[in-house]
């Protein structure tokens, strides 16, 4: 009897020890950060905390996001290609009632099932109008932040409506948004989480996305020290402020003694926007474009004891890989019923193993600035950038073919001398585009003239049963059904 009790206690102790070994995970997302705009990349912008993260972890020199906000966030949460989600082409606007379908399985749901506490603090931007689209109904135990994009850093308004909340309850805060995100992350770590359980904390900052606003003292710092012009000095101050907020999170992890058992992943949702001060050198292009400067972003991962400090990797990594890789690191099941497109690249980070991607990566942007589509496909070392410009008389298609192994800065267009490869890759892009659901999202420059922003977005979230038309993109369900009858069971249209 006594021996049996001792055995049971020993088993319970071992189980508890194993549970406590699950790594905590912090995912930090910058918004529109330029590739060259961190200190360790040679920038004059001061980012000592991200520089420290790079020195203590691994720099992911070939990490690919998508060229715009919503697709990247969709891919991060689902490990699936945004073309299948209907979110590949554009950023979701406050006046649109779409988002990522509730049928899609989200990363925090998997971690929650595995016993993790889950929290999100910052910008959501993948659905807002219905309960099943908002963070605290998609696997996050705790949500503090904004549902939309283009949020004012001081008034916290988006398109005229107030957009700051905690778990569905509207909040008023007289403070700079980036400071709030850092402080609330620290509050979560100190006061809200249960120290006996592992946690997943997702911190998608607004910064340095427009509107271009920063604390006066930080702006003055970059005006006096480096004589940065507007808007560059504002942008620099926004990046500096974000770095300080990240530093407070790292300091709190240190204070609690959990840094050694915490994975920190930092990356940007797309390249920087030159018009607001973002610099993507040495790469070509920027946000909204599918050249490397729009999609190859800063990324760093730290996991003490598992990832060698001060290391670098040239492994091609997609934002779709984050979910399966972190699930592998935590030794949990993903529980996805639908086939994922991301892959587990953990051994590339911990063992410096080169992992061959099983299929190409695709990218897209439908931008009002260009009135066009910017598309790209990366297949091994070869990359095709396809630009489709529309006007009221014609459509012009321009192809750029690059060998990234010899030309990572995309200076030498090989399209004319390789017509067969261009044709093959162009056909593959067309096939990929045919997966976009007819109810999917396209760019929306302005709202319907009758649309008015709700006074408060937190109070505008509706129960799913209060709407007849549910749209997880642009068209409503009835429109989707009509097009499905015309174009087949899947409701797809192939663009030739």
> Could you list the active site residues?
69, 125
454 burial (CB, 10 Å; 0-12 / 13-18 / 19+) is middle
Inter-residue contact 302 to 56 (CB < 8 Å): yes
Task: Kindly list the distances between the CA atom of residue 40 and the CA atoms of 16, 227, 310, 421, 493, in Å, as whole numbers in the listed order.
Answer: 40, 21, 11, 37, 45
Task: Kindly list the distances between the CA atom of residue 459 and the CA atoms of 141, 160, 162, 440, 451, in Å, as whole numbers in the listed order.
Answer: 19, 14, 10, 26, 17
Inter-residue contact 444 to 374 (CB < 8 Å): no
Q: Are strands 165-166 and 169-170 parallel, antiparallel or unpaired?
A: antiparallel
Sheet with 372-379, side-by-side order of all strands: 361-367, 372-379, 382-390, 395-403
Instruction: Give the length of the chain.
Output: 496
Inter-residue contact 75 to 320 (CB < 8 Å): yes
469 burial (CB, 10 Å; 0-12 / 13-18 / 19+) is exposed
Task: Kindly list the distances between the CA atom of residue 209 and the CA atoms of 151, 187, 192, 212, in Å, as whole numbers in the listed order.
Answer: 9, 24, 28, 7
First-to-last alpha carbon distance for the chain, in angstroms, is 75
Q: Please give the Cα distance from 450 to 448 (Å, whole number).
A: 5
Q: Is the dihedral of CA 270, 78, 100, 106 positive or negative?
A: negative
């Amino acid at each position: 009897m006594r021996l049996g009790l001792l055995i049971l206690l020993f088993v319970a102790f071992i189980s508890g020890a194993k549970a406590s070994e699950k790594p905590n995970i912090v995912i930090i997302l910058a918004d529109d950060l330029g590739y060259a705009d961190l200190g360790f990349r040679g920038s004059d912008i001061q980012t000592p905390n991200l520089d420290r993260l790079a020195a203590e972890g691994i720099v992911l020199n070939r990490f690919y996001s998508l060229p715009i906000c919503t697709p990247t966030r969709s891919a991060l949460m689902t490990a699936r290609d945004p073309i299948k989600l209907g979110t590949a082409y554009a950023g979701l606007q406050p006046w649109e009632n779409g988002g990522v379908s509730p049928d899609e399985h989200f990363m925090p749901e998997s971690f929650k099932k595995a016993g993790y506490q889950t929290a999100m603090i910052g910008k959501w931007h993948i659905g807002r109008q219905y309960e099943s689209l908002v963070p605290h109904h998609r696997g996050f135990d705790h949500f503090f932040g904004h549902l939309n994009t283009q949020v004012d850093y001081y008034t916290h308004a988006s398109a005229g409506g107030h957009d700051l909340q905690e778990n569905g309850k509207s909040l008023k805060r007289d403070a700079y948004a980036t400071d709030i995100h850092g402080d609330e992350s620290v509050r979560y770590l100190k006061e809200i989480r249960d120290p006996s359980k592992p946690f997943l904390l997702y911190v998608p900052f607004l910064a340095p996305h427009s509107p271009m606003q920063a604390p006066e003292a930080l702006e003055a710092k970059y005006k006096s020290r480096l004589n940065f012009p507007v808007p560059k000095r504002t942008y620099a101050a926004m990046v500096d402020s974000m770095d300080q907020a990240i530093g407070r999170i790292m300091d709190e992890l240190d204070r609690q003694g959990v840094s050694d058992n915490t994975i920190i992943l930092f990356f940007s949702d797309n390249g920087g926007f030159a018009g607001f001060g973002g610099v993507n050198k040495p790469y070509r292009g920027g946000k909204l474009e599918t050249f490397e400067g729009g999609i190859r972003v800063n990324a760093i991962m730290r996991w003490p004891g598992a990832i060698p400090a001060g290391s670098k990797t040239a492994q091609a990594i997609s934002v779709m890989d984050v979910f399966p890789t972190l699930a592998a690191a935590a030794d949990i099941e993903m529980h996805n019923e639908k086939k994922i497109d991301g892959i587990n690249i953990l051994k590339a980070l911990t063992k410096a193993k080169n992992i061959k991607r099983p299929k190409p990566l695709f990218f897209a942007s439908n931008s009002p600035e260009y009135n066009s589509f910017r598309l790209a496909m990366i297949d091994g070392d070869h990359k095709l950038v396809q630009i489709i410009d529309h006007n009221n008389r014609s459509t012009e298609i321009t192809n750029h073919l690059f060998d990234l192994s010899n030309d990572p800065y995309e200076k030498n267009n090989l399209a004319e001398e390789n017509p067969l490869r261009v044709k093959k890759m162009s056909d593959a892009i067309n096939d990929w585009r045919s997966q976009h659901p007819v109810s999917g999202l396209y760019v929306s420059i302005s709202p319907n003239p009758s649309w008015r922003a709700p006074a408060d977005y937190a109070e505008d979230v509706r129960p799913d049963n209060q709407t007849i038309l549910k749209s997880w993109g642009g068209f409503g369900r009835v429109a989707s059904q009509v097009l499905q009858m015309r174009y087949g069971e899947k409701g797809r249209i192939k663009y030739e």
